[in-house]
Amino acid sequence: MTLDLAEVVQPHSDVPADLHCGRDGWLFLIGGTNRVKDIFGEESAVDSEKIDSWSSLLLERQRRARQLGADYLHVVVPEKLTVYSEFSGLDGINIKNSAVHRLSEYVARRDFDALVDCLTPMLRQKRFRNLYYKTDTHWNFHGCLCAYLEVCRMSGAIPAGHVLSPTFNKTMLTLDLGSKLTNPIEEEFRVYNFTRYSSRTHSNAIVNYKEACGRENDGGWHVGSHVIFSNGAEVADPRRVVIFGDSFSEYRRHLLTGLLAETFHEVHFIWSTSIDWSYVELQKPSLVLTEIAERFLTSVPTDTFSLENYAKSKMEGLPLTT
């Protein structure tokens, strides 16, 4: 029987300072390195100056991508606090004060047409189903699907029909926020089975090392993860896509990267907030996609990342893996 999280998570539970217990069993990250609660409001960790810097960066990325013959799209994944602020019970936490909403308004005034609006469809869809796990910081399959459909719409791709209603397996897991409680709690986790056409054709030394050592969820080994998926189906969009993203896209196939791999002929994923332009120039994709969680808007990337140099440095001194 599935636990009633509202009964398990009580307001008086002994919780760390970076975690907030909201209503009906909803847990929210409010602190941490990126001071999540502080990204709301004009006088925040994402102030007007940082919004301006992000806007300039996105315009420059679009310009540079076009020079290389590629389209450019940028996805900001809204915080769970942004989408489900009504369950937080926290003052000053609302959609209009969120960093993603303020960035959207700002870039609209600069005629930037490559920012993917995930928030609007998510606010619409949340009336029908949960889009985030109650005890995790991440969106679930249905939250991710909102972004996927918007990326398809803005890129002119036809969504893969089979990913819209996949089968799934259920299991109970302790997720990232549930694990922070003094008495950790589990939540029902659904693993959706939508892989039909794509296969992984490349993984770099970082990914190979993580998989060989069982460290797939080790945060110290996320950045620099690099995989390529190929899709030979006749219905696949013939374009090549390069994604620079984080845990909401994933080097594994269960979130945005996997959905796009079922849609396009070739999808490259690199775990990085910055673009490696030398890699883009080498691969000549039709679409460059960057994805970042709203809480990471506190830092503006420099786009000086080198995948080759980073992976070489990270693996230095470690045993070779195949």
Give me the residue spans of the domains in the chain.
Answer: 14-315
Contact 80, 87 (CB under 8 A): no
Look up residue 129 and give its two tokens.
Answer: 């189903």
Count of Cβ atoms closer than 10 Å to residue 168 Cβ: 11
What span, in angstroms and rounded, lies between the C-alpha atoms of 134 and 148?
A: 21
- Which secondary structure element, helix H or strand E, spans residue 288, and what is its range? strand 287-293
Contact 58, 38 (CB under 8 A): no
Count of Cβ atoms closer than 10 Å to residue 184 Cβ: 12
Contact 40, 97 (CB under 8 A): yes
Contact 198, 155 (CB under 8 A): no
Q: What CA dihedral angle connects 224, 230, 236 and 242, to 10 degrees?
A: 20
Contact 30, 36 (CB under 8 A): yes
Q: Is 65 helix (H, G, I), strand (E, B) or coil?
A: helix
- End-to-end Cα separation, the chain, in angstroms: 42
- Pinpoint the alpha helices (H) of the chain: 5-8, 48-67, 80-83, 99-109, 119-125, 141-155, 205-213, 256-261, 277-283, 307-315
Residue-level pLDDT, tens digit, the chain, 322 residues: 344 555 555 554 577 889 999 999 999 999 877 788 888 876 778 999 999 999 999 999 999 999 999 999 999 999 999 999 999 999 888 888 899 999 999 998 988 899 999 999 999 999 999 999 999 999 999 999 999 999 999 999 999 999 999 999 999 999 999 999 989 999 999 999 999 999 999 999 999 999 999 999 888 999 999 999 999 999 999 999 999 999 999 999 999 999 999 999 999 999 999 999 999 999 999 999 999 999 999 999 999 999 999 999 999 867 554 3
Q: Is 162 helix (H, G, I), strand (E, B) or coil?
A: helix
Contact 46, 102 (CB under 8 A): yes
Q: Is 225 helix (H, G, I), strand (E, B) or coil?
A: coil
pTM: 0.93
**What is the structure's pLDDT at 10?**
57
- Which secondary structure element, helix H or strand E, spans residue 239, and what is its range? strand 237-245
**What is the structure's pLDDT at 322?**
36
Query: Which residue, 292, 282, 211, 214, is CA-closest to 242?
Result: 282
**What is the structure's pLDDT at 34?**
74
